Amino acid sequence: MRIVYLDNNATTRTAPEVVEAMLPFFSDAYGNPSSMHSFGGRVARHVREARERVAALINAEPCEILFTSCGTESDNAAIMGTLQSYPDKKHFIMTRVEHPAVLNVGHYLRARGYRVTELGVDGEGRLDLEELRDALDEDTALVSIMAANNETGVLFPLDAIAALVKERGIPFHSDAVQAVGKIPLDMKRTPVDMLSLSGHKLHAPKGIGALYIRKGTRFTPFVIGGHQESGKRGGTENVPYIVALGKAAERAMNHMEEENGRVKALRDRLERELLTRIPNAIRNGAEKERLPNTTSISFEYVEGESILLMMDAVGICASSGSACTSGSLEPSHVLRAMGVPFTAAHGSIRFSLSIYNSDADVDHVIEHLPPVIQRIRDISPFWKDYQAGKPLSAMLAGEQGQHHH
């Protein structure tokens, strides 16, 4: 069966040239880059080159790149490392739509006595900069705000946010895991102090990430150990994966134009066709200030999980905006923060493309999804109620009885 992979914000295919670049470091070139002998030294050269490539992708200096095990570690290291460096300050600011790699660190800190501000967003997923300005105070140790939302693709205005936070001399971290490789980022222009990225979102393998730390930023190691990574992170370097991330970074620079041209055009066509061919379909998030590869669409009065299962049967891979892992069908925290009504939030699907997608992939979805939605609606009591003009409040009462504890 034809597989149409539209779940690239979850993870991407490791590019064949990236796999090829990392292979020698599993076999002949197995030395430890910290060794004094030249056998290890040869490997160190490749780590250095990878660091230069990752730095180049975001226009940073190589010495500002710290390799980590993943985006989650980068986020944890940035937040915990900064708070350790400012032990007298007990206020942390984030948004309500962060990835759990930041959000749950915030909740962890709150449980340990920190004051934690969670900034809200409007119906289009946008931040209110005045709310941010008002939240900053003398006790603020760190502000962490993502560059691009993983569910909706909505971009936050990083330049303006960074300027606002730095005006007050407060450290600023951004989780840019979904942005790096998809849109241009320039650390010489944007005054962020720390920025997280993850390999598997840009065609490197899972389990490698990096944290950009601007020169002069106070940072206390999160992973305590040897002198690797200039003493900022212990642990023998994961050479094959570091080389892979370097190769992926180089590749991303070369593909940025295609991502923002051809891939964006595919996304736009997919979105336009689905919104016009399927009744009661709504885009979640701002139309313009958005990643070029992502669209989140709500199909009202249907469950996202049902859509995913039926799409799976016709070879389409995507994600839903509700997390059913806990057994409840709570809509995602992102859509809830945006105030998306539950009738829409429950039926939200995220499609995320990459340069490996083609026109034929989009055609496949446009052909198969409308009848899938229709079939689910045909057996949905909510859809029947809606069509019969039954008031929303009656449906809401039933739904809340089921899902809210």
Binding site for ligand PLP (CB under 6 A): 70-72, 75, 99, 101, 146, 150, 175, 177-178, 198, 200, 209
**In the numeric block, which tokens belong to residue 108?**
């962890």
Cβ–Cβ < 8 Å for 141, 117: no
Measure the CA–CA gap between 284 and 348, rounded to whole angstroms.
8
Answer yes or no: are the C-beta atoms of 156 and 124 closer than 8 Å.
no
Vertex 128: Cα angle to 260 and 98 (nearest 5): 65
CB of 138 to ligand PLP, least distance (A): 29
Q: How far apart (Å, rounded) are the C-alpha atoms in residues 306 and 312?
A: 10
Q: Is 324 a catalytic residue?
A: yes
- 212 near 56, Cβ under 8 Å? no
**Cβ-based nearer residue to ligand PLP, 75 or 259:** 75
| Host H or E run for residue 352 | strand 348-352
Q: How far is the CB of 253 from ligand PLP (least distance, A)?
A: 20
Place of tokens 């790699």: 101
Q: What is the CA radius of gyration of the chain?
A: 22
Contact between 192 and 165 under an 8 Å Cβ cutoff? The reply is no
**In terms of CB distance, is 43 or 65 closer to ligand PLP?**
65
What angle, rounded to 10 degrees, do the helices at 38-57 and 239-258 form?
30
Residues 4 and 315 sit within 8 Å (Cβ to Cβ): yes
| Least distance in angstroms from the C-beta of 206 to ligand PLP | 7
Q: Are strands 172-175 and 294-299 parallel, antiparallel or unpaired?
A: unpaired
Residues paired with 383 in a beta bridge:
none
State which residue, 190 or 198, has the beta carbon closest to ligand PLP. 198
Strands 91-95 and 140-144, by their bridges, are parallel
We find the least distance from the C-beta atom of residue 84 to ligand PLP, in angstroms, to be 21
Q: Which is nearer to ligand PLP, 197 or 310 (CB)?
A: 197
Nearest CB to ligand PLP, comparing residues 43 and 97:
97
Cα-flanking dihedrals φ and ψ of residue 311, to 5°? -70, -40
Least Cβ distance, residue 349 to ligand PLP (angstroms): 17
The single residue listed with the structure tokens 């560059």 is 147
Helix (H, G, I), strand (E, B) or coil at 291: coil
Q: Which of 63, 70, 317, 324 is catalytic?
A: 324
| Minimum gap (Å) between residue 389 Cβ and ligand PLP | 40
Nearer to ligand PLP by C-beta: 319 or 343?
A: 319
Q: Whose Cβ is closer to ligand PLP: residue 200's or residue 232's?
A: 200
At its nearest, how many Å lie between ligand PLP and the CB of residue 272? 25
Known catalytic residues are 324
